[in-house]
Structure 1
Amino acid sequence: MHADIRRYAIFCCLSALVHALYIPGVSIKSYRDGETIPLFVNKVYSDTSELQYKYTELPFACPPTGRIRSGRFTSGASLSLNLGEVLRGDRITVSDYELVMGNDEEARYLCSHTMDKAGLKRTRELIHRGYVAEWIVDNLPGATSFQSTDKSRKYYAAGFKIGSEVASGGAEPQYFLNNHVTLVIRYHRAPGRNGDHGKKVIVGFEVFPKSIEAGSRDENGLPKDISHAEHGLELVGKSNGTAETEEETETLTIPFTYSVYFREEAKLDWQNRWDMYFVAQDDSSGIHWLAIVNSLVIVGCLTAALAVVIARTVQGDIKAGLEEVRIKPRQRRGPRSPRKSTEKRGNLIDPLGDIEGDADVSSDEELLDDATGWKLLHGDVFRTPPHGALLAPLIGSGVQLVFMATGLLVLGSFGVLNPSFRGGYISVGTGLFVFAGLFSGYFSSRVFKTFGGHAWKNNVLVTASLVPGLLFATVFFLNLFVWIQASSNAIPFGTLVGLVALWLFIQLPLVYVGGWYGFERVGAWSHPIKANSIPRQIPPQSWYKNGAQTILLAGFLPFAVIFIELMFVFKSLWQDKSGYYYVFGFLAVVFVISVITVVEVAIVATYMQLCQENYHWWWQSFLVGGSSSVWIFGYLVWYYFAKLHIEGFVSSLLFFAYGFLACGVYGLLMGTIGFLAAYAFVGRIYSAIKVD
């Protein structure tokens, strides 16, 4: 009975974590009838390109006039954005579209805009690549509505197409620009006293684009029949000059109009308005559960293997060693050889930790002769690794990433970070990373001192500069290509200066403080056995136990744990282009399981390496922990060729470069976890056989 209650309680807690609490925002904006609602235009993006563009800078966009005022917003003004919004390519501007709560507009004229030949060519290229526009009303992205396959539910896809491409047999395709939009604002009665006073809240924003020819319009520039327009606006320029200058003077004047309708949505509350964007992800919840079951099966098998290693093999070796200690000193001892005693004091430390050399030498010899496997490495297992001055900063940066990733997953799982907080994941992640400089300096300095380092200030400088410096240099280099393309992905110069200031004036001092405390106040970790003065010779290793093969094979299991969930993350980033991945409860569970898997793989791989009398486990454990990133990058390459349709050199360069950076960061994070797990394991088993 009690066991059933415990299982039910565990299931309820897991379900609560998976579904997560959603906190859409801290304030609700309500509107009264007749109040103007601002419409913001943001950017255009495509699933065939990594380049985004600011909407108001497109050749066909009507330039804002500044004639529309809505509270503190004036059309044409650009909004102040947080760091995450800037880095994700948002460029939000107040538009001239006039929306008045409760007032339907069957047709309204916006402007007429003339494009030259270069603008026509650019617009046709954008339509060919399937670019969609993102508009925003009350923090909701304008959506294209769809019906589920069984037509029982409606769901939203963020963005709407700017035009359409029509193939015409073997001839050149025709391109039509959507110059009319029907905006449907869905509202609900405001909660509380605002609702009692007749105020309303917006729960949906739908955009239905349409292409209508420039002719057959009245004196106000409105089409005579919007609902039954037979011909669209084809992007074909007309000459205004002589035959010699026909191509240079090719232009097209495009009239833009819009319709506005307000419809009540009585069944959809404000706090659930984002659910419409996630219906497709909700339908895939069964696959998410499959990912968790798959992960649990893998980690269960690893746990069983680890239990055998620890419970039977390691503990058996330790018990056998302790039994030898109790029996052999009581056996009849022969005469002590001074020469051998001197050799023992100078070169060897027995398996039981006789550092001073005061134990019976004949007993030591017998113990060394009987020792097998990992116990033979007692005098070398804690020897300082090669390039330890590089490993220490990597471990510090890895701890910094662990703190950041854990914070983001916790905040995302409980709904504090959500799609309504635009750019929140990047902004909060950057803040957590900078603050975690304290932990980075602390762990890096302690590892550095454990390796026998003395110049801790140099180590602090390397720790604070190595990973952030490489990331910044790579991003800056890639940013040059994006600047040339005039894309909104290009990070403004002022933002780059701000990031450098954040790095040098906030993170670096935090790393310094953590490094000083870890090196001067806490100090190095103590080891149960000191290293011999002369390194032990490592016997030849089997080819399948070579470092590269072991590292690559060990990384497959953690990759298999997260493989299914990665599919949804990739789809959200590179196919949907919305970035609205919200099932952080599932992702948090899979992340925890993957961490457990990395810990167990690192321990098993380290134990097998020690049994082969190879004491170079420091770097090996780090590389084993992070080796799943190699498989993830391989999956990225396959995903690029099999699932995506990215075109152009710059877009492909951005995809692979940022994908490589993400895999490198993930590998550093998991490598640090693997190193710390192996370090704790090695310290535990060798301290268990030490006898004072």
Structure 2
Amino acid sequence: MPGATVSYTNEEPEHKYRIGFPLGFKNGNAYYLNNHVVIQILYDINNAGRYRIMGFEIYPDSISEGECTKKNVDYDHQKIVERRSTVSYTYSVRWKQVNNVNNRWDTFLLSPNPERHLYASINSMIVTIISWSMVGFILFKTRHRRSNSNQNDKDIKVYDDVEDYVGWKLIYRDVFRRPVYGGLLTPLMGTGIQLLVIALGILTALYMGWYHPAEPTLLTRRATALFLLGSFPAGYWSARVYKVFRGKAWVLNSLLTSSIVPSIFLCVLFIISILAWTQQSSLAISFNGWLSLISLDICLAVPLTLLGSYLGERKDRIEYPSRTTQIPRMIPAKRWYQLNFIRQVYIFLVGMFY
């Protein structure tokens, strides 16, 4: 657990914490060095009579001559001078019992104005609901009008692919056409479901208070566990969509689902670890850590993906809601201002000014 500096404000009765502590301060034109810290250890006693460390409060101070104890209120500070000098660093430890602390990471969660965040969340939710309601109403009316038109023309069956449509209706029969790289789309879609499982799991855990964002290591472990557990729904839906594309090699599709994105992630992580090793950083992953990651991927993620793909392959094929034309409609050529390069230049120019 990191040490934190206590800060008090006039707006709130409670104090807040900042990670770390300042190395010095400026008073007028002079600079002073904080060469003394008071470490106040917060502890709690549970019902079983056991002590538990709840936090570390750090109170930095600048004392000349390296004396821990202050003989009076008005004392000299350790001034930073240009000439070469020796600075003595000292510390002292105090103990303080705290009560009514459910989680020791709660003190690091800063919420200066929770009501403002609540109102902003409610406002965003209302705007989202209204927007989705309008879009859903428009789609429902369009679908209802289309159904009535088909009901009136039920005695006249049209099988030709040429219909008098304009606008977006020109391509509505090409929406469910199998993409060119459908065998690559389904594994990426499966990985997207894994990421969705991670996002929903972490948001749910944060809302329920099972762990806090101030615990980075616990958050990483939980995200890894959710990614592994998400292999099952990833393989299931990847196999179902692959079956919609009339694919036959569902085992290969399952292996690609469990290996494409994780392999890229492991390669990037390996490069970062190599750079950390060169700098002798503690962020580098050890050899045992690499063995654990690879073992989890091979022994847990791959079997779960295969199991989900097997169950998805046994399900019936999802039928399209509309008939696809045999001949794809020709997409007109883009104009010069619709080219990707021009769009990137436009986005770059807008980003420079805004």
Assess same fold via TM > 0.5.
yes
Aligned to 1:432: 226
SS in 2 for 1:184: strand
Query: What is the TM-score of this pair, normalised by structure 2?
Result: 0.79
AA matched with 1:448: Y
Matches of 1:236 and 1:379, distance apart in 2: 78
1:522-601 superposed matches below 5 A: 522=315, 524-538=317-331
AA matched with 2:39: L
Give the superposition deviation at 1:143.
Answer: 2.0
Matches of 1:543 and 1:309, distance apart in 2: 33
AA matched with 1:526: E
Aligned partner (choices 181, 198, 216) of residue 37 of structure 2: 181
**Alpha carbon RMSD of aligned pairs, Å?**
4.1
Give the superposition deviation at 1:230.
Answer: 2.0
Q: Contact between 2:198 and 2:226, CA under 8 Å: does it hold in 1? A: yes
The structure-2 alpha-carbon separation of the partners of 1:204 and 1:510, relative to structure 1 and needing over 3 Å to count, comes to closer
Give the superposition deviation at 1:226.
Answer: 9.1
Aligned to 1:393: 187
Structure 2, unmatched stretches of 5+, are: none
Matches of 2:284 and 2:83, distance apart in 1: 31
SS in 1 for 2:102: helix
Q: Contact between 2:66 and 2:89, CA under 8 Å: does it hold in 1? A: no
AA matched with 2:250: W
SS in 2 for 1:208: strand
The structure-2 alpha-carbon separation of the partners of 1:449 and 1:431, relative to structure 1 and needing over 3 Å to count, comes to same
AA matched with 1:307: G
Matches of 2:81 and 2:286, distance apart in 1: 33
Matches of 2:321 and 2:234, distance apart in 1: 25
Aligned to 1:208: 59
User: What are the superposed Cα offsets for residues 46-82 of structure 1, whole Å, 9 maximum, x if unpaired?
Assistant: xxxxxxxxxxxxxxxxxxxxxxxxxxxxxxxxxxxxx
Aligned to 1:152: 13
AA matched with 1:185: I
In the alignment, is residue 259 of structure 1 matched against residue 92 of structure 2? yes
SS in 1 for 2:258: helix
Give the superposition deviation at 1:429.
Answer: 0.8
Q: Percent identity?
A: 30
Aligned partner (choices 222, 236, 242) of residue 448 of structure 1: 242
Q: Contact between 2:40 and 2:94, CA under 8 Å: does it hold in 1? A: yes
Give the superposition deviation at 1:157.
Answer: 1.9
In the alignment, is residue 314 of structure 1 matched against residue 114 of structure 2? no
Structure 1, unmatched stretches of 5+, are: 1-135, 239-251, 330-347, 352-367, 553-630, 643-692
Matches of 2:238 and 2:108, distance apart in 1: 43
Q: Contact between 1:442 and 1:516, CA under 8 Å: does it hold in 2? A: yes
SS in 1 for 2:327: coil
AA matched with 1:164: G
Give the superposition deviation at 1:459.
Answer: 1.9
User: What are the superposed Cα offsets for residues 545-585 of structure 1, whole Å, 9 maximum, x if unpaired?
Assistant: x6979x99xxxxxxxxxxxxxxxxxxxxxxxxxxxxxxxxx
Matches of 1:310 and 1:463, distance apart in 2: 33
SS in 2 for 1:325: coil
AA matched with 2:151: L
Give the superposition deviation at 1:144.
Answer: 0.9
What count of residue pairs does the alignment treat as equivalent?
348
Matches of 1:262 and 1:430, distance apart in 2: 37
User: What are the superposed Cα offsets for residues 395-450 of structure 1, whole Å, 9 maximum, x if unpaired?
Assistant: 11001111121111111211112368662111011011012111112212222222
Give the superposition deviation at 1:175.
Answer: 7.7
Q: Contact between 2:108 and 2:214, CA under 8 Å: does it hold in 1? A: no
Matches of 2:339 and 2:129, distance apart in 1: 26
SS in 1 for 2:154: helix
Matches of 1:387 and 1:394, distance apart in 2: 11
Matches of 1:504 and 1:226, distance apart in 2: 66
Aligned partner (choices 4, 18, 24) of residue 164 of structure 1: 24
Give the superposition deviation at 1:477.
Answer: 1.8
AA matched with 2:124: S
1:7-26 superposed matches below 5 A: none
Aligned partner (choices 507, 529, 533) of residue 301 of structure 2: 507
Aligned to 1:324: 153
In the alignment, is residue 295 of structure 1 matched against residue 124 of structure 2? yes
User: What are the superposed Cα offsets for residues 282-313 of structure 1, whole Å, 9 maximum, x if unpaired?
Assistant: x2223322432442344244224313422222
The structure-2 alpha-carbon separation of the partners of 1:224 and 1:312, relative to structure 1 and needing over 3 Å to count, comes to closer
1:370-389 superposed matches below 5 A: 380-389=174-183
Matches of 1:312 and 1:297, distance apart in 2: 23
Give the superposition deviation at 1:370.
Answer: 5.5
The structure-2 alpha-carbon separation of the partners of 1:216 and 1:319, relative to structure 1 and needing over 3 Å to count, comes to closer
AA matched with 2:327: I
Matches of 2:163 and 2:306, distance apart in 1: 48
